[in-house]
Structure 1
Amino acid sequence: MTTIEGTFTGASNLRIAIVIARFNDLITNKILSGCLDCLSRHGIDTSQTSPQLDIAWVPGSFELPLVSQALARKGKYDVVITLGAVIRGDTPHFDVVVSEASKGIANVSRETGVPIIFGVLTTDTMQQALERAGIKNNLGWSYALQALEMGSLMKAIS
């Protein structure tokens, strides 16, 4: 029996793209910070001149799938991380954005064969979003770990 697993070490050969939403940037910047910290601690060059990492900013979470798709199709990246924050309001807008972002991101991953990490916080309140972006736990760190594992797993499979 062969067991194939991704790892969190030896990630220095991965090329990673991060697509991040500007909307709710109080939250998304904190998630990005946690994500970059994790990547850096696992051997990814996160400097401004990094040959391993590119960051693309989009207006909101609804736009994450399109830019993720464009980056994944380039064949330059082993994994793409999407970061966003959608906070429930008084209208059904929340449901539309979350639904389309999640379906779109999943479709891009299946269509391109590039792992796309779904790092979109979906919360009922700003307080919940803040808690997930660093007050209690920064989920950006978890999204980065998922990227490292999936990127290395896909390399192990190919």
Structure 2
Amino acid sequence: MPTFEGDFSPPAGRFAVVAARFNAMVTEALLAGCRDAFVRHGVADDRLDVAWVPGSFELPIVAQAMAESGNYAAVICLGCVIRGETGHYDHVAGQAAGGLMSASLATGVPVIFGVLTTETVEQALNRSGLKAGNKGGEAALAAIEMVNLMAQIRSEAVADAKAGG
């Protein structure tokens, strides 16, 4: 029984990062962590393209456009939605998550959800590098792992097709 599992070896191809400007202090730190993780895993900074959008709600349309371009092995989306006093948080966070999943499924390109959804600014800062690691770096690792996993699966499908299976 074949088992497929991605690894963290440097994959081929370019990567797109779509980052939200809203809560920029957090998203800029997420982007720095993302870039650092890529470089530490053998993906040079010149293989990354960054697109800035106004907020997390706008991530899905740009992520899908970049995935559809055929230029990227994966698209990493970075944003930060902090709960406020209204229901705005629920709408933005939910629509961003659903939109990014739809973009990935529609294109077959891994679209990584690197959007922080926190209760407080302190939690967001902690998850962007202060105390709880950097979720931008974790998103880069997820992208590397997914690209390698998808390559294995696609390679197996080609081998099966050639073997008449």
Fold in common (TM above 0.5): yes
Q: C-alpha separation between the residues in 2 aligned to 1:108 and 1:85? A: 19
Task: Tell me the secondary structure at the aligned position of residue 8 of structure 1.
Answer: coil
Point out 4+ residue stretches in structure 1 off by more than 4 angstroms.
none
Counterpart in 2 of 1:15? Answer: 14
Counterpart in 1 of 2:39? Answer: 40
Letter in 2 for 1:3: T
Structure 1 stretches lacking a partner, 5+ long: none
Counterpart in 1 of 2:105? Answer: 110
Counterpart in 2 of 1:149? Answer: 145
Deviations 1:38-75 (A, max 9, x none): 000111111xxx2x211100000000000001001111
Q: C-alpha separation between the residues in 1 aligned to 2:4 and 2:31? A: 29
Give me the CA root mean square deviation.
0.8
Q: C-alpha separation between the residues in 1 aligned to 2:39 and 2:13? A: 12
Residue 14 of structure 1 deviates from its aligned partner by 2.9
Letter in 2 for 1:29: E
Counterpart in 2 of 1:66? Answer: 61
Q: C-alpha separation between the residues in 1 aligned to 2:10 and 2:25? A: 32
Letter in 1 for 2:8: F
Q: C-alpha separation between the residues in 2 aligned to 1:80 and 1:3? A: 25
TM-score by length of 1: 0.94
Letter in 2 for 1:155: A
Task: Tell me the secondary structure at the aligned position of residue 9 of structure 2.
Answer: coil
Question: Contact 1:14 / 1:151 at 8 angstroms: preserved in 2?
Answer: no
Counterpart in 2 of 1:3? Answer: 3
Residue 152 of structure 1 deviates from its aligned partner by 1.0
Task: Tell me the secondary structure at the aligned position of residue 117 of structure 2.
Answer: strand
TM-score by length of 2: 0.90
Number of aligned residue pairs: give it.
Answer: 153
Q: C-alpha separation between the residues in 1 aligned to 2:8 and 2:13? A: 11
Question: Contact 1:14 / 1:152 at 8 angstroms: preserved in 2?
Answer: no
The percentage of counterpart residues that share the same residue type is 53
Residue 145 of structure 1 deviates from its aligned partner by 0.6
Structure 2 stretches lacking a partner, 5+ long: 155-165
